[in-house]
Amino acid sequence: MKFPNVDFLKPENLDFLNGLSLTSPSWDLFILLFFIIAVFIYGFSLGRNRIVVILVAIYMALAVVNTAPFIDDWVKKAESIEVGQIFVFKLGFFLLTFALLFFLFGRSSLLHSITGHERRGAWWQVPIFSVLHIGLLLSIALSFLPADSLLVLSPFTRELFASDIARFIWITAPIGAMIILPE
């Protein structure tokens, strides 16, 4: 059995850390700052139960976007569409679907049945679910870009969020956490 390449922590892949600069910010710096800020502010303001419901809405929105036939049809028919427009359309459709599902779930009994609303979960679960949630969102957003557009990112960022194994891990890790971590 051959294991996938997960050696994104090799020294040459970490060279991007030397190039991070606030005077000339790169996409890697933007992604890193977004990840850190979002994990703390977003995660602790929402709490574990809301994050779990958001994760369920993210999975459903991803399933809808990945199986919507009109997105690929639209892209194939329009010859003058640029990469940025495809990315914005897919990301916008994903976010709209996600927001609609989250709004509907918040008003339904699904919130109570998924999270066991009476129990709030341990405080230490919040940062775990926050990291998994934000990592999943970044991985999904980057998956909407064509492979050649990802070349502007450092190898570290590509391996951590955009590689096939990274996408698999970011999609399955929250599911594992929801199963393993107690309510």
Cα 131 to chain centroid, rounded: 10
Contact 8, 161 (CB under 8 A): no
User: In whole angstroms, what is the distance from residue 91 CA to residue 157 CA?
Assistant: 19
| pLDDT, tens only, 21-35 | 556 567 778 888 888
DSSP 39-80: IIIIHHHH-HHHHHHHHHHHHHHHHHHHH-HHHHHHHHH-TT
Residue 57 belongs to a domain: yes
- Phi (first) and psi of residue 155, to 5 degrees: -55, -35
| Cα torsion 75, 166, 65, 144: sign | negative
Residue 11 belongs to a domain: no
Residue 171 belongs to a domain: yes
Residue-level pLDDT at 51: 83
Residue 6 belongs to a domain: no
Residue-level pLDDT at 174: 94
Residue 95 belongs to a domain: yes
Residue 123 has what DSSP assignment?
T
Residue 137 belongs to a domain: yes
| pLDDT, tens only, 4-18 | 555 555 555 555 555
User: In whole angstroms, what is the distance from residue 59 CA to residue 116 CA?
Assistant: 20
Q: Which of 171, 111, 110, 105 is nearest to 138 (CA)?
A: 171
Which residue range forms the structural domain that includes residue 118? 47-180
Residue 39 belongs to a domain: no
Residue 9 belongs to a domain: no
Let me know if 160 is exposed, middle or buried by CB neighbors in 10 A (0-12, 13-18, 19+).
buried
| pLDDT, tens only, 107-126 | 777 666 665 555 566 788 88
Q: Which of 81, 97, 92, 86 is nearest to 145 (CA)?
A: 86
| pLDDT, tens only, 128-173 | 988 999 999 999 999 998 888 898 888 888 999 999 999 999 999 9
The yes-or-no verdict on residue 3 having pLDDT over 50 is no
Let me know if 164 is exposed, middle or buried by CB neighbors in 10 A (0-12, 13-18, 19+).
exposed
Contact 102, 55 (CB under 8 A): no
| pTM of the predicted model as reported, rounded to 2 decimal places | 0.74
User: How many domains does the chain fold into?
Assistant: 1
